[in-house]
Amino acid sequence: METQRQKKINALLQQEITALLQGAIRAQGVKNLVLSVSKVSITADLSVAKVYLSIFPHEKAKEILEGIRTNKNVLKHDLAQHLRNDLRKVPNLLFFLDDSLEYIDAIENSLTRKNDPLK
């Protein structure tokens, strides 16, 4: 069960990480890429935050996720600069792909018999 403090920090981290990542994408001039933070879940001791990213197109998702993971220290530093008045310590960031949209699409295709699993 999440406490009220965890919920507030999750929302704050989600908003700031989204802004930082989208700003970095715009600064590099990358086109045809949609990246959003779908969920942030912080541990009870506020030391680790799991960040779930939704990336479109799906073909580039793993490559972009690896790029974000290699630059997570830079992202954490920038996040600390933005949140220095709100948080004492920025949690360690763990990034994961949110594949819920792909899962929903697969179920929808199965139900409409586009990809009939019985054939």
With respect to residue 116, please indicate whether it lies within any of the assigned structural domains.
no
Q: What is the dihedral of CA 71, 29, 100, 58, to 10 degrees?
A: -100
Structure tokens of 85?
């008045």
Torsion angle defined by CA atoms of residues 118, 104, 2 and 45, in that order, rounded to the nearest 10 degrees: 90
Which residue stretches of 1-119 are H helix? 4-28, 61-70, 72-82, 100-111
Tell whether 75 is covered by a domain: yes
Q: Classify residue 119: in a domain, yes or no.
A: no
Domain-embedded: residue 106: yes
Total-model pTM = 0.83
Task: Give the CATH number, domain containing residue 45.
Answer: 3.30.300.20
Tens-place pLDDT, residues 62-112: 999 999 999 999 999 999 999 999 999 999 999 999 887 777 777 887 778
User: What is the extent of the structural domain holding 58?
Assistant: 4-111
